Amino acid sequence: MNGETMKLNYIVEGEGKTLIFIHGLSDDLRYWEILTSSLKNNYKIIRIDLRGHGESELGADEICINTYANDLKKILDELKIEKANVIGFSLGGAVAIDFAIRYPDYVSSLVLMSTFLKCDDYLSKLFSQFKEELNKSFEDFFDFMIEKVLCPEVIEKNREELEILKQISSQNTNLEAYEKAVDACINFNAEKSISNINVPTLILAGKYDEIIPLDKQKLIHKSISSSDLIVFDDVRHNLLVGKNNAEIIKILNNFYKNH
């Protein structure tokens, strides 16, 4: 999308109900490829790059979760889409929550993966560590994050591929955008408004998530009366690992069929 001062990048594929996918910190729209390569056969899929991520420009605006939510509205308006099913991972889940609160008429349902509704003392300390690692280098940030995102056996099994991913990612990275995204997370608090969300909501959580511990995701479930919670026993923050991809595709298809 081309505005007066900046570009927001997105990809549209498939036909049917609209599903819009929002990635997490330092990711881009490619994060969703395994899921959407299957889902696009039955749905209209929109994958976006958040500001300063992937091929989207950072722009000159102050960055907060509201900023990303407003960008999402602009994309839907440009595509003339009045309602969408919104799927967000981590930072993207916070954006999805904020979007549903601010623009409820645009939202048919929510899927929140490894997501938080407010920054408490635990998350504030962790996000500050993210910034410290980003101030060193992207490689330091990657190494710090990966141990919290993936289980040790997954890291060991895919060590070579992860090293390649780190090197490729480091060549197309915007550290300023990532630091601003971390600040947006630190300042996010939807605790007072989240109970206003009344659309069908599915919360997908990792039992051993060290970034957004399970109790913080249970709080979302408690706060949204129309929500269901599914916990994956064998993962940390990143749920899209191994056989879970096929399982999540099945879960999403059932969710959209029933709602």
Q: Is 249 exposed, middle or buried (0-12, 13-18, 19+ CB in 10 A)?
A: middle
Instruction: Report the alpha-carbon distance of residue 56 to residue 50 in Å, rounded.
Output: 6
The answer to whether 58 and 52 are in contact (CB under 8 A) is: yes
- Candidates 165, 172, 178; CA nearest to 136 is 178
Q: What is the pLDDT of residue 4?
A: 47
pLDDT of res. 191: 97
Question: Residue 203, SS3?
Answer: strand
**pLDDT value, residue 5:** 57
CA pseudo-torsion sign 103, 106, 109, 112:
negative
Query: Whole-angstrom Cα distance, residue 92 to residue 23?
Result: 5
C-alpha closest to that of 45 among 92, 96, 84 = 84
| pLDDT (tens place) for every residue of the chain, 259 residues total | 434 458 999 999 999 999 999 999 999 999 999 999 999 999 999 999 999 999 999 999 999 999 999 999 999 999 999 999 999 999 999 999 999 999 999 999 999 999 999 999 999 999 999 999 999 999 999 999 999 999 999 999 999 999 999 998 888 899 999 999 999 999 999 999 999 999 999 999 999 999 999 999 999 999 999 999 999 998 999 999 989 999 999 999 999 999 8
Question: What does the domain layout of the chain look like in residue ranges?
Answer: 10-118+190-258
Give me the CATH code for the 10-118+190-258 domain, please. Answer: 3.40.50.1820
User: What is the pLDDT at residue 171?
Assistant: 85
Q: How far is Cα 250 from Cα 39, in angstroms, rounded to an integer?
A: 10
User: 216, 224, 204, 247: which is closest to 100 by C-alpha?
Assistant: 224
pLDDT of residue 1: 43
